[in-house]
Amino acid sequence: MEFTHNISILGSTGSIGTQTLAIAREYSGIGVKAVTAHSNIKLLEEQIREFKPELAAVTDEKKAKELKIKVADTPTKVIGGREGLIAAAAHDSAETVVTAVVGISGLEPTIEAIKAKKNIALANKETLVTGGHIVTALAKRYNTAILPVDSEHSAIFQSLMGNHRKELKRILLTASGGPFFEKKRSELADITPEDALRHPNWHMGSKVTIDSSTLVNKGLEIIEAKWLFDVDIDKIKVLIHRQSIIHSMVEFVDNGIIAQLGAPDMRLPIQFALTYPNRLPMNGNELDFSELVELTFDEPDTETFYALELAKRAGREGGTLPTVFNGADEAAVELFMKRKLSYLGISEAIQRAMDDIENIADPSLEDILETDKLARAAVYKYYKGV
Ligand code: NDP
Ligand code: MG
């Protein structure tokens, strides 16, 4: 099939980034015009040699200098620092920007990409969590599309296709439940990063894997869904679905429910965000119903995994509260990965930061970035016992 689409990938060395490149490898019509990494220049160099992008950005300045020397024999231009990430986001020849960096670092480049009239294949949920009101308004103003890459949101998007949004009653957002499903708080005190990184169904970057185990990820996804589909937080119901076969569902006013199913495989949501409204064949990983023993559904245990409730509160109250939720989590996960904070300390730190930091209504980008710094600083203080 004839298909051409030029893309820029922010975070090409990560889990979503490398899977996006696997799709580009399959379909030569997908042109990779810009790639970025934070520090993994070994992999970035391989990507430059294989995909021949016009631009490569490395946010770590020292590594950017090293890469410039390594790829001096190629026509690829290398830019370092935040400036490089922004340049890749607004790069001329790309029509769509895949936002696959981790954390709030995705917010500014996404804003710049929209201002440069790019469509956004959005993996970086933190962008909508922290700056949803700014990003969705800009996308309207510049007439660009935000296409979800997150599997649940892609499922909701696919299930809504051909239906009237005003007839939507609620969203049923599925969650795997992570590695500690059915565990109580007392059983989670000694959880190590290795335990939390063992996700039952998905292989993802470390931050999103830890977030899946605490249900912070599902909390972020509720807020992401609020902005993507313009629905109230209370119309989004989380269902624990251990098999990750139903990727989410929508329920209409007549009680009709439409779901999207498939084997857990991020290639489909990534590919669909690039080919929408068309679909391209996918090799392997078909859902085999004869092997499907059961589909189960449970209510989330919001006493143990109370970060989910904190996210709902942040999503309902809005302003900078979702940024506090996210920033505190980013800092807490970083400390947990360094074994400086206990596993249960992650949700505790988020709650404390949400209680301590003042909420600013209708925040500007500067307010959001400032609040993110405050939330991180608060968490570093807590762990030092201040
Ligand atoms: P990874 O950790 O695997 O990759 C992150 C990417 O961002 C890497 O390219 C990394 O570069 C780069 N990066 C890290 N820190 C910074 C920074 N401060 N500034 C700029 N770039 C940075 O993450 P994932 O691919 O798992 O996740 C990416 C996003 O997609 C997240 O927002 C996540 O929530 C979302 N997502 C991921 C899913 C998945 O299946 N993985 C599913 C749904 C959503 P380097 O390699 O050099 O460190
Ligand atoms: Mg998801």
Residue by residue, pLDDT tens for the chain (386 residues) are 567 999 999 999 999 999 999 999 999 999 999 999 999 999 999 999 999 999 999 999 999 999 999 999 999 999 999 999 999 999 999 999 999 999 999 999 999 999 999 999 999 999 999 999 999 999 999 999 999 999 999 999 999 999 999 999 999 999 999 999 999 999 999 999 999 999 888 889 999 999 999 999 999 999 999 999 999 999 999 999 999 999 999 999 999 999 999 999 999 999 999 999 999 999 999 999 999 999 999 999 999 999 999 999 999 999 999 999 999 999 999 999 999 999 999 999 999 999 999 999 999 999 999 999 999 999 999 988 75
Which atom of ligand 1 is nearest the CA belonging to 63?
47
Judge if the beta carbon of residue 248 lies within 6 A of ligand 1.
no
Parallel, antiparallel, or unpaired for β 168-175 and 119-122? unpaired
Give, as residue ranges, everything with CB less than 5 Å from ion ligand 2: 150-152
* Segment holding 146, helix H or strand E: strand 146-148
pTM score of the predicted model: 0.98
From the list 269, 259, 19, 273, the residue with the least C-alpha distance to 146 is 273
Amino acid sitting at position 26: E
Say whether the peptide bond before residue 75 is cis (omega within 30 degrees of 0): no
From the list 289, 188, 305, 275, the residue with the least C-alpha distance to 245 is 289
Distance (Å) from CA 162 to ligand 1 centroid:
32
HSE-up of 62 (CA within 13 Å, CB side)?
0
Distance (Å) from CA 102 to ligand 1 centroid:
4
Tokens of 247: 């990727």
Helix (H, G, I), strand (E, B) or coil at 170: strand
Which atom of ligand 1 is nearest the CA belonging to 39?
47
Parallel, antiparallel, or unpaired for β 30-37 and 236-240? unpaired
Distance (Å) from CA 88 to ligand 2 centroid:
25
Tokens of 29: 């019509």
CB atoms within 10 A of CB 97: 28
